[in-house]
Amino acid sequence: MIGLAQGALDHTKSYIKEREQFGQPISDFQGVQFQIAEAATNLEASRLLVYNAARLKDQSKDFLVPAAMAKLHSSRMAQNVTSLCVDLYGGYGFASEYPVEKYYRDSKIGTIYEGTTNMQLQTIAKVLLK
Ligand SMILES: Cc1cc2nc3c(=O)[nH]c(=O)nc-3n(C[C@H](O)[C@H](O)[C@H](O)COP(=O)(O)OP(=O)(O)OC[C@H]3O[C@@H](n4cnc5c(N)ncnc54)[C@H](O)[C@@H]3O)c2cc1C
């Protein structure tokens, strides 16, 4: 989910620097810049959660909750980031000729396989409340 979101964001950063509306690239609009900054921040947070869970596993420490938190956060983040990317491509975001439509569709599986979102929440809550 990290790589998928990063790929969508990379494509989108290039696209919004090329696409012009009202006589300027849409990346010049502060509203668009803020959305990209939010997406990049959430992506980085997910990446660090994943690295932290991997670090704990490598050190043979308990990584159950950190891994569940990483999966929960990353799958939601990927949906949100790829959804923003579709929005920023405008009408082209909906078309299969452009890459972000597939990133968006593929992001949905992250909340389902390898433990659904509800299962991650259950795992986290069970440990926190035991
Ligand atoms: C593309 C793809 C690849 C897959 N690859 C694999 C694979 O390689 N290996 C493998 O073993 N499986 C794989 N799966 C299966 C996947 O792991 C399951 O689809 C997933 O675990 C959800 O199970 P389910 O489809 O039976 O949904 P259900 O168990 O019917 O769940 C449906 C909904 O109900 C919720 N729910 C169910 N029980 C509870 C509960 N007790 N409390 C709260 N909410 C609950 C779920 O969170 C979900 O939102 C794959 C699925 C897909 C779509």
User: What does the mean pLDDT of the chain come to?
Assistant: 98
CATH of the domain at 97: 1.20.140.10
Q: What percent of the chain has pLDDT over 70?
A: 100
Q: Best mutation site among 1, 76, 107, 112 for ligand 1, i.e. most ligand atoms within 8 A of its Cβ?
A: 112
Rounded to two decimals, the pTM is: 0.93
Query: What is the extent of the structural domain holding 11?
Result: 2-128
Number of domains in the chain: 1
Angle value at C-alpha 65, between 111 and 1, nearest 5 degrees = 35
> 99: left (phi > 0), else alpha (psi -120 to 50), else beta?
alpha
Active-site option among 20, 38, 44, 114: 114
